[in-house]
Structure 1
């Protein structure tokens, strides 16, 4: 599933343009990410925008602006805010749909394109190249700063960041843990199969296990028992670190689905496991509603 048929999709796309401030991506791509493989049309969920204010916005950041997808109930303000952190594939149709699903539940949901300076994930057909040329070049510091800027934008545009949550998938699941330990305003997080332990380096100096004891808001971890990349041992290690942490850490919890692997919520991919995805979504909504609405 690492690449699509032999069509040279890259040749069909316009050349990348680097702006004066160093941004490669200045607007969101349409459709699904090509590197994710063929779309499973029979399971891909499509949420309409009826009753919503939904579409692309620009988020001012310290060195320019980045595109983001925003969805919120139309005509309403002072909404609880949920930051949505992308998979490795960027802010494509699946992530946009997740934002609309959250908006239908009464939230302002915003997904900033966090690779804007490194590359356009929609252009890639091979996961290996996407990882080596874009994803693995994104510093955590940049990501955290862009999420701070997104929360600040939300507060000025109808959102109430005193009721702030964050959710993310795969690559974004790891970021949920880090951001919940970074921003004191985070009241709750939901991490979908995000890495918990791993090597450190200049771009990733900290892993979730290192900040588990210092969360500002509790995190619900939704993981697959058949996920070859995230072992049960690493989950158990994380559970112990949380148990030895502060109040928010102790309030965090995991749900592991024994029959699910990685990316079980990604309804547009063969990895989708309907029962786990639906149960996880119900748990996520209950988690956020309790923390952000009550």
Structure 2
């Protein structure tokens, strides 16, 4: 069943019931009505990722939405802080082709629980109806089309704004990495080719960029065994990164399908390999993050500049509480 447009949940029932009455013998109407409603609610729940939202709502960690500004653009980002006593690395989390959905925010919270400040920008900010972001679109198909059509240069500029914001936070130790899934995995790889002061890039089942020569940071890949669309790009990516003298460390999880990080957490998942891959990949990700060096500086180079470029300006808005809307200008 296709996901339903948001805001139309209560209009589907007259349509369903009308079809049942028109095409179903009277004695079967009650049974089919019940089946239709069960399927409808199951589909709606899966589309909304309610299980992820439930987990996120139970989290004790501080989370907030901030507005990042660069040029004439305003960008919404979801930020989660770890409960730690010292300064922490920053993870720029790049969403799937499904936008800043509940699972992405729940994953941001999971990484914060592991000890990292997570900045997850909504890359659809301003492009939706009435200038909204992911939540303003009428359904998943519209979100997918919108994400697919995003300008790569604007995406990199948005990710720069998120990285600059995270690096300037008083709680940041100056280390910034990118982590992306699916479409976002490809953007994490591309961001490594764009930004010179990135400490590392983590690519979950995403395609490679068009060139590797400009990559400075090590790139770590996480791929699914049952995902030929992306897996078929791996041999050329490995060879290209090797020829360019870049560090690329990919791991493929046999039996897992594309999107296994989300699918492996979904209670409706029916492929055990997705759960195994998700757990192993998360352990690998957090272990690699722990091994990264800290720059111990919140004034490292912004955007794609060299590390010796201008100091970043501090921003008092970064320490805002839940009740305040933080805004940072990049």
TM range (shorter): 0.7 to 0.9
Matched, 1:9 2:6: yes
Q: Aligned to 1:211, what secondary structure does the other structure show?
A: coil
Q: Tell me the equivalent position of 1:121.
A: 134
Q: Aligned to 1:281, what secondary structure does the other structure show?
A: helix
Q: Tell me the equivalent position of 1:85.
A: 94
> CA offsets per residue over residues 49-101 of structure 1, 9 Å max, x none?
32x32121111221142111101125756421110001112112211111111
Query: Cα offset for 1:244?
Result: 1.1
Q: Tell me the equivalent position of 2:59.
A: 49
Q: Tell me the equivalent position of 2:288.
A: 287
> CA offsets per residue over residues 183-213 of structure 1, 9 Å max, x none?
11111111111123xxxxxxxxxxx1x2334
Q: How does 1:207-286 map to 2 (within 5 A)?
A: 208=209, 210-230=210-230, 232-246=231-245, 249=246, 251-266=247-262, 267-268=265-266, 270=269, 273-286=274-287
Matched, 1:156 2:168: yes
Q: Tell me the equivalent position of 2:148.
A: 136
TM-score norm. by structure 2 comes to 0.68
Q: Aligned to 1:177, what secondary structure does the other structure show?
A: helix
Structure 2 unaligned spans of 5+? 11-42, 296-330
Query: Cα offset for 1:243?
Result: 0.9
Q: Tell me the equivalent position of 1:19.
A: none
Structure index of larger Rg: 2
Please say if residues 35 and 126 of structure 1, whose CA atoms lie closer than 8 Å, have aligned partners that are also in contact: no
> CA offsets per residue over residues 100-135 of structure 1, 9 Å max, x none?
1111122111001111132243434343x4333x12
Cα distance in 1, alignment partners of residues 54 and 111 from structure 2:
13
Q: Aligned to 2:241, what secondary structure does the other structure show?
A: helix
Please say if residues 220 and 252 of structure 1, whose CA atoms lie closer than 8 Å, have aligned partners that are also in contact: yes
Q: Aligned to 2:290, what secondary structure does the other structure show?
A: helix
Q: Aligned to 1:55, what secondary structure does the other structure show?
A: strand
TM-score norm. by structure 1 comes to 0.76
Cα distance in 1, alignment partners of residues 88 and 150 from structure 2:
30
Cα distance in 2, alignment partners of residues 216 and 225 from structure 1:
28
Over aligned residues, Cα RMSD in angstroms? 2.9
